[in-house]
Amino acid sequence: MKTAVIVFPGSNCDQDMYYAIKDGLGEEVEYVWHAETSLDGFDAVMIPGGFSYGDYLRSGAIARFAGIMPAVIEAAKAGKPVLGVCNGFQILLEAGLLPGAMLKNKHLKFICETVHLKTENNETLFTSLYKKDEIIRIPIAHGEGNYYCDDETLQGLRDNHQIVFTYDGENPNGSRADIAGIINKAGNVLGMMPHPERAADALLGSDDGLRLFQSILNHWRESAHAAYTS
């Protein structure tokens, strides 16, 4: 599996994402600068956290117009796994690849701590190695992680099982319905505020995030095998 890690001006979790793939999975990974226009040859796309373009206007609003974004949208439409973490989630929302929007945290303060997440849906390509309702420990670090959507959108997320992770126990940012991560209807685009790449090794305090990347790899291997034998 060959993975692209998109790098914007202000990205600061790109290296964490890179090494989660390189060292955690032992798979091929490359940085792709935001001004590039092609993702040909890549099997998966990662949009890391940080403060793209300084979070001017609002988080992800400028990055959404970067040169690489049409290729990201094309990869998503082609069914390739696309993961957006923290600022990456915000960019996916701004790009219209996921529904909803981000507001400032309910206490209007930046939060940096480890939280407990509940695995609401383990039947996705990102969560197949987790158990249903499993509680995992993943760090968060954001100032605008208060996910919001209207009633109709929320009902659609529930009906289509698009809510993948929720905050278990205390909701740290005021996110509607305790939402921490959602997928698109096709199931190949995941946005989440917590950072699985920062929980990909026990030395970091938790390796609960590694299984997310392993799930993506397993899906790619199964898809590649099916394509080869068909």
Provide the CATH number for the domain around residue 35. 3.40.50.880
Number of domains in the chain: 1
Alpha-helix residue ranges (DSSP H) falling in the chain: 14-19, 69-77, 87-94, 151-159, 210-229
pLDDT band at residue 55 using 50, 70 and 90 as cut-offs = confident
Give yes or no: 197 in active site: yes
> pLDDT tens digits for 110-131?
999 999 999 999 999 999 999 9
HSE-CB for 92 with a 13 A CA cutoff: 31
Catalytic residue (one of 13, 120, 197, 219): 197
pTM recorded for the entire structure: 0.96
Residues 158 and 55: beta-carbon distance below 8 Å: no
Catalytic residue (one of 13, 120, 144, 195): 195
> pLDDT tens digits for 84-106?
999 999 999 999 999 999 999 99
Catalytic residue (one of 86, 120, 142, 144): 86
Domain that holds residue 71: 2-229
Give yes or no: 142 in active site: no
